[in-house]
Amino acid sequence: MRILITGGAGFIGSHMTDRLIAEGHRVVAMDNLVTGDLANIAHHRSNPNFEFIHHDVSNHIHVAGDLDWVLHFASPASPIDYLQLPIQTLKVGALGTHNALGLAKAKGAKFVLTSTSEVYGDPLVHPQHEEYWGNVNPIGPRGVYDEAKRFAEAVAMAYHREHKVDVRIVRIFNTYGPRNRVNDGRVVPTFINQALRGEALTVFGEGRQTRSFQYVDDLIEGIRRLMETQFNKPVNIGNPNEMTILEFAKLILRLTGSRSEIEYRPLPVDDPKTRKPDISRAKEVLGWEPRVPVEEGLKKTIEWYRSIM
């Protein structure tokens, strides 16, 4: 197959590129490199099955030739990114998704939208299942990301109903692994790099808020299975192994052997108190559940960060 990946030089996009190239497919990676990095895909540049296009998908997308799939992964995805790039985040979620869907429609291609657990906001339901509509502050600082993804889901389903575009929607929960930027701002790279540098680990509030962490290989497997399944409703892909941020900080200190201390800071605005996926649908529809234990994935990730320091 020939497959376009928007955000193809990003953390998740580059791992999906690896998987598809390994399967023998042709990949067109498109990225404006605002948060992506050419180093993530440099090992494919001489591969005749790989092509890179430097482009912002918030503008009209043109790709010559046939496409079998459009995988829309492009978006700032960390609090630091979308607080610094609020307009770009809204544009890629709205205009970018619309443009990517229009391309899929024109090419007769199937479509994957990478949505997010952030569509649930600060949830009042725990764990979060796909039928829950969420608790989002549309005018808060995080709303630019939350609402962009909620709109992206809405326009994807509109294209599915109106134009018969064959869509898939994956709601991604906290994912970590190699190639996640050092300055990404999310908790896994932040804690690991603070620990490796001997700096204090910055825990917001009292660290009682919970998160569920999945290794990137598990996410890619879930998306790949979704592509092979005729299912158009959203599917949670995440690890239901929930822990508090304070517990996670202590785990990072143990795995890195760091003597860093823990420093407490005020909670950010609208920071979700809980985050845990209900993966019943993924188990039933995809036969999927995470396989990589958190400690095993973290050890691989820590070694990658060591290698680039």
Grouping H, G, I as helix, E, B as strand and the rest as coil, residue 245 is helix
Domains of the chain by range and CATH? 2-176+214-239+277-292 (3.40.50.720)
The predicted model scores a pTM of 0.95
Q: Pick the catalytic residue: 82, 120, 145, 159?
A: 145
Condensed to tens digits (0 to 9), the pLDDT of residues 252-297 reads 999 999 999 999 999 877 777 888 999 999 999 999 999 999 999 9
Which 3-state string (H, E, C) describes 128-142?
Answer: ECCCCCCECCCCCCC
Record the tokens describing residue 297, joined without a space: 């994935």
Alpha carbons 226 and 20: distance in angstroms, whole number = 14
Mean pLDDT over each residue of the chain, to the nearest integer: 96
pLDDT value at 145 more than 80: yes
Alpha carbons 55 and 96: distance in angstroms, whole number = 11
Condensed to tens digits (0 to 9), the pLDDT of residues 43-73 reads 999 999 999 999 999 999 999 999 999 999 9
Would you call 159 a catalytic residue per the annotation? no
Residue 75 pLDDT class (50, 70, 90 cuts):
very high
> Hey, how many other C-beta atoms are within 10 angstroms of the C-beta on 247?
13
Which pairs count as long-range contacts for 134-143, CB under 8 Å and 24+ apart, including other chains? 137/270, 140/269, 140/270, 141/83, 141/86, 141/268, 141/269, 141/270, 142/79, 142/82, 142/83, 142/118, 142/269, 142/270, 143/270
Q: What per-residue confidence (pLDDT) applies to 82?
A: 87
Q: Find the mean pLDDT for residues 188-203.
A: 95
Backbone region of residue 155 per phi and psi (left: phi > 0; alpha: psi in -120 to 50; beta: other values): alpha
Range 204-216 burial, b when 16+ CB lie within 10 A, else e: eeebebbbbbbbb
Tell me the β-bridge partners of 212. Answer: 242
List CB contacts of 175: < 8 A, sequence separation 6 or more.
Answer: 11, 12, 213, 214, 215, 216, 219, 238
